[in-house]
Amino acid sequence: MHDRSGDGFRFCGTCFTHSSGELPASGEERPSTTRARQIQTESLLHIEHISINGVRGFHGPTAASELEFPVPSDGRGSWTVLAGRNGSGKTTLLRTIALALVGPSFARNLVPDFDHWVTQGADTGEVTVAIIPGAEDTGSAAGMTSGTPFTGALLWRQNRAPRGGTRVTGPEDVSDDEIPRSGPWAEDASGWFVAGYGPFRRLEGGASQAQRLSMSPGPVSRLASLFNEDVSSAEAVEWLKDLHLRQLEGRSHAGERLAFVTDMLNDGLLPDGLSVDRVDADGLWVRRGDHTSALSELSDGYRTVTALVLDLVRQVFSLEEEGAYGYSESGVPAVFVSGVVLIDEIDVHLHVSWQKAIGDWLKRHFPHMQFIVSSHSPYVCQSADPGGLIRLPGVNEETAPRVVSEDLYRRIVFGSGDDALLTELFGVDSLYSPQAEKKRQRLSELEVRVLDGSATPGEIDEYVELRHTLTSSLATRVNEVSRASGTERM
């Protein structure tokens, strides 16, 4: 234990207390500490690339072939966004990644029935993933070293059923490597952190049968909501209540962990002046000014994003790994475990301003995590790392998923949201409503007649009115910009 005299704090790895033994009060400045064991970027658990063929919509010309993902670097997590129209396979891709990371045994717990998993008309479906193990990831196979890639492969077979139709069996382990069996796919392996979240992220409810998945040991609980929409993050709230109770009982680390979670949630996650006030037997309470409310009383946006962060922190803490969390040199509360986090429709229920911020916030507070998310939002895409913006083809396109070109990436990341929407990534033909499009078409017709002198007085009046109507939004925008610069025109 390192004692820094004169400042009233003692440090123990990444945890801290006052020298009196008490935690700093809420709102009091906390010390900046760094993780006791430093991890190099090449020693972080991450996916290098993945190939999928014969799984649902990924087959033949639309199969994914060594689709690459960026890795966390420079102390910031990586952010990969899967973008595409509805039905393009974003959810299937995320789920297939998850199954490839946890192996056949855990896969059958997550998906009891793989019927319709193999592409119709195909005999087999296969996924191959290249994994880079991190420093915390253990395995008994010879040749497994931190930072050295290995591959795991799963195969499903589509067989004819005795009474007609087909039946899918698998997944089978068809890996050339021995490492997956004794590493990420082994039931007794430690490390290999992977978590996944579906679009229905909520703090309460959940069907009882589905909810049992979230209480299973190992990766099944961490991936349950990605595969079953009836699974909630209710366990995260119960975990907070348990920390509160343990703190009252004087249990080791309970108060420290509760303070850390509060610090993290209060570090720019909640907008509009909202902050965590306390945790008690009734759950999590938030404050805005002099008013406090239970988190459960707030809108879906607040609950959804809080559920995600709380559950992710809870899952990391369940590893009981030393040095798993702490404070960066700049004082940011951060989780230092490496792993892969999969999130389907990250933008669900989030206001545009939140969509713009969520990627950078998660990367800053989980600097060793590789985030792979799906989204329909151009603002979520703007946080994508170089090489981390992947376009999935539409239903009628015979092309493979691919990382977008550098030119398209720059246009989306450095352009406006409108610029992004008009690119091939989103396929929006016009930013105007159908009603506005009709008026603009009529304006064009009248403009021709006005210019060649054939317009009637009534048509001229209509032309003037349409010009006023269709340019008012631009004028409004000019005034907004003028107000921002202090030069508003009267």
Q: What is the pLDDT of residues 94-114, one digit of tens each?
A: 999 999 999 999 999 999 899
* Mean pLDDT within 330-352: 93
Q: What is the pLDDT of residue 141?
A: 63
**Of the candidates 309, 44, 359, the residue with the CA atom closest to the CA atom of residue 195:** 309
Q: What is the pLDDT of residue 292?
A: 92
pLDDT at 215 over 80: no
pLDDT band at 336 (very low <50, low <70, confident <90, very high): very high
Q: What is the pLDDT of residue 164?
A: 73
Under a CB-based contact definition with an 8 Å cutoff, are residues 380 and 346 in contact? yes
pLDDT at 228 over 50: yes
Q: What is the pLDDT of residue 188?
A: 82
Under a CB-based contact definition with an 8 Å cutoff, are residues 127 and 99 in contact? yes
Q: Which of 19-28, 35-44, 269-278 has the lowest mean pLDDT?
A: 19-28
pLDDT band at 214 (very low <50, low <70, confident <90, very high): low
> What are the residue boundaries of the structural domains of the chain, listed by start?
1-31, 41-232+319-421, 236-303, 434-485
* Mean pLDDT within 367-392: 94
Q: Phi then psi for 99, rounded to 5 degrees?
A: -65, -40
184's CB contacts (< 8 A; 6+ apart) are: 101, 102, 103, 131, 133, 137, 139, 152, 192, 194
pLDDT band at 83 (very low <50, low <70, confident <90, very high): very high
Rounded CA separation 67/47 (Å): 10
Per-residue pLDDT tens digits for 417-433: 777 776 777 766 666 77
pLDDT band at 24 (very low <50, low <70, confident <90, very high): very low
| Share above pLDDT 90 across residues of the chain, in percent, rounded to a whole number | 46
What is the 3 state secondary structure string of the chain?
CEEECCCCEEEECCEEEECCCCCCCCCCCCCCCCCCCCCCHHHCCEEEEEEEECECCECHHHCEEEEECCCCECCECEEEEEECCCCCCHHHHHHHHHHHHHHHHHHHHHCCCCCCCECCCCCEEEEEEEEECCCCCCCCCCCCCCCCCEEEEEEEEEEECCCCCEEEEEEEECCCCCHHHHCCCCCCCCCCEEEEECCCCCCCCCCHHHHHHHHCCCHHHHHHHHHCCCCCCHHHHHHHHHHHHHHHCCCCCHHHHHHHHHHHHCCCCCCCCCEEEEEECCEEEEEECCEEEEHHHCCHHHHHHHHHHHHHHHHHHCCCCCCCEEECCCCCEEECCCEEEEECCCCCCCCHHHHHHHHHHHHHHCCCEEEEEECCCHHHHCCCCCCCEEECCCCCCCCCCEECCHHHHHHHHHCCHHHHHCCCCCCCCCCCCHHHHHHHHHHHHHHHHHHCCCCCHHHHHHHHHHHHHHHHHHHHHHHHHHHHHCCCCC
Rounded CA separation 363/317 (Å): 18
Under a CB-based contact definition with an 8 Å cutoff, are residues 158 and 97 in contact? no
Q: What is the pLDDT of residue 352?
A: 87
**Of the candidates 139, 126, 445, 191, the residue with the CA atom closest to the CA atom of residue 322:** 191
**Of the candidates 241, 254, 236, the residue with the CA atom closest to the CA atom of residue 308:** 236
Q: What is the pLDDT of residue 433?
A: 78
Per-residue pLDDT tens digits for 173-202: 999 988 899 889 998 888 899 999 998 776
Beta bridge mates, 118:
55
Q: What is the pLDDT of residue 474?
A: 47
**Tokens 């998906």 map to which residue?**
111
Under a CB-based contact definition with an 8 Å cutoff, are residues 360 and 366 in contact? no
* Mean pLDDT within 153-157: 97
Per-residue pLDDT tens digits for 301-327: 888 899 899 999 999 998 877 788 999
Under a CB-based contact definition with an 8 Å cutoff, are residues 363 and 373 in contact? no
Mean pLDDT value across the chain:
82
483's CB contacts (< 8 A; 6+ apart) are: none
401's CB contacts (< 8 A; 6+ apart) are: 58, 62, 64, 67, 82, 89, 93, 390, 391, 392, 393
Per-residue pLDDT tens digits for 439-475: 888 888 888 888 889 989 998 888 888 888 876 444 4
Q: 159 or 147: which carries more pLDDT confidence?
A: 159
Architecture of the domain made up of 41-232+319-421? 3-Layer(aba) Sandwich (3.40)
* Mean pLDDT within 235-249: 90
Q: What is the pLDDT of residue 480?
A: 34
* Mean pLDDT within 21-44: 46
Q: What is the pLDDT of residue 204?
A: 64
Under a CB-based contact definition with an 8 Å cutoff, are residues 328 and 334 in contact? yes
Q: 26 or 348: which carries more pLDDT confidence?
A: 348
* Mean pLDDT within 291-298: 89
Q: Edge-to-edge, what's the strand order for the sheet holding 124-132?
A: 64-68, 46-53, 124-132, 150-160, 166-173
* Mean pLDDT within 73-81: 86
Q: What is the pLDDT of residue 40?
A: 53
**Of the candidates 223, 213, 6, 238, the residue with the CA atom closest to the CA atom of residue 101:** 223
Q: What is the pLDDT of residue 483?
A: 44
